[in-house]
Amino acid sequence: MPTVPLTPIHGGERERKDARAQYVTVILPRRTHPVDKEGAMALNRGVKITWLGHATFKIVSPKGKVMVIDPWVNSNPACPNDAKTFERLDLMLLTHGHFDHIADAIALGTRFKPTVLGMYELCEWLKGKGVENTMGMNKGGSWTVDDITVTLTNAFHSSTIVDGDRVLPAGEPCGLIVRFENGFTLYHAGDTCVFGDMELIAEIYQPELAMLPIGDLYTMSPREAAVACRLMKPRWVLGMHYGTFPVLTGRPDQLRALIKDLPGTEVLELKPGETLT
């Protein structure tokens, strides 16, 4: 699976080169980091974070635990075929009930029996579908699994499940704070608009990496995500929920231009299937 290198230069900046790529009918973003054969973007925090497209991430923790956030894999048009296969899965994290975030939750949950964390109502629905090891939570609550602590935060969106010909409520949407065994902490905002309490999330949990939706229409655009960056001031920002469909028009380079005057925050950019390490 390809990964992306990040080359340090003076002043903490990073060397960037431009290239263009396209996957099937998905228009992928302009590349800003060079790629080598191994392709690891050097976070140097002991985690491996692979973007599977849209809002789906596969993460390997410092102690080798495998998690997936918002599993939309098999029917995800942005996910490369060689990234659709899991050998194991220890932890599944869910932000809300829309199909593009839980489409493979039942299949992966019943096959690998990971611990599943998400809003209470969503976990109860999954339990009714035969998914074991669910732990229904709510916003502000935390749960620790194998020294990885997950906290649910606020998010402003909707959350329903299409179950056959029924549309079911799935509780409220949420964001995720994930603190790994070595202390590295990330924030996955889920689907949301910008909101002022992102500043509180940063104050309380101090995530180094913020995964923010930037596609527009259903979530923030780069304009709102830039405000989120100013509220949170993370070390790194990784855009998501863009490029999967033509209507998701926001791009990382737009966000980068909007926060070029924000010191200490760098916008990272991946293609689906690439990895941060």
**What tens digit of pLDDT does each residue of 25-41 get?**
333 443 444 333 444 56
Mean pLDDT of the region 65-69: 98
Q: Do 163 and 155 contact (CB within 8 A), yes or no?
A: no
Residue 110 tokens read as 């019943």
Q: What is the pLDDT of residue 44?
A: 87
Q: What is the pLDDT of residue 97?
A: 98
Q: What is the pLDDT of residue 43?
A: 87
* The pLDDT of residue 158 is above 50: yes
189 belongs to a structural domain: yes
167 belongs to a structural domain: yes
Q: What is the pLDDT of residue 47?
A: 97
pLDDT band for position 238 (50/70/90)?
A: very high
3-state secondary structure of 222: helix
Q: Is the overall model pTM greater than 0.85, yes or no? A: yes
Write the pLDDT tens digit of every residue in 101-124.
Answer: 999 999 999 999 999 999 999 999
**Total domains in the fold of the chain:** 1
| Residue 183 belongs to domain with CATH number | 3.60.15.10
* Burial group, residue 134, by CB count within 10 angstroms (0-12, 13-18, 19+): buried
Write the pLDDT tens digit of every residue in 164-185.
Answer: 999 999 999 999 999 999 999 9
213 belongs to a structural domain: yes
DSSP letter (8 states) at residue 196? T
Q: What is the pLDDT of residue 126?
A: 98
* The pLDDT of residue 212 is above 80: yes
3-state secondary structure of 238: strand
201 belongs to a structural domain: yes
253 belongs to a structural domain: yes
Between helix 198-205 and helix 222-232 the angle, nearest 10°, is 40
Mean pLDDT of the region 204-232: 98
The C-alpha angle 250, 253, 256, rounded to 5 degrees, equals 110
Percent pLDDT > 70 in the chain is 85
130 belongs to a structural domain: yes
* The pLDDT of residue 226 is above 80: yes
8 belongs to a structural domain: no
By residue range, what is the domain housing residue 45? Answer: 31-276
Mean pLDDT of the region 82-102: 97
Mean pLDDT of the region 51-71: 98
CA distance 45 to 277: 7
* Per-residue buried b or exposed e for 195-219, using 16+ beta carbons within 10 Å of the residue's own CB: beebeebbeebbbebbbbbbbbebb
| Residue of 263 and 30 predicted with greater confidence | 263
Lowest mean pLDDT among 1-5, 246-250, 273-277: 1-5
Q: What is the pLDDT of residue 29?
A: 41
* The pLDDT of residue 1 is above 80: no
Mean pLDDT of the region 83-94: 97
244 belongs to a structural domain: yes
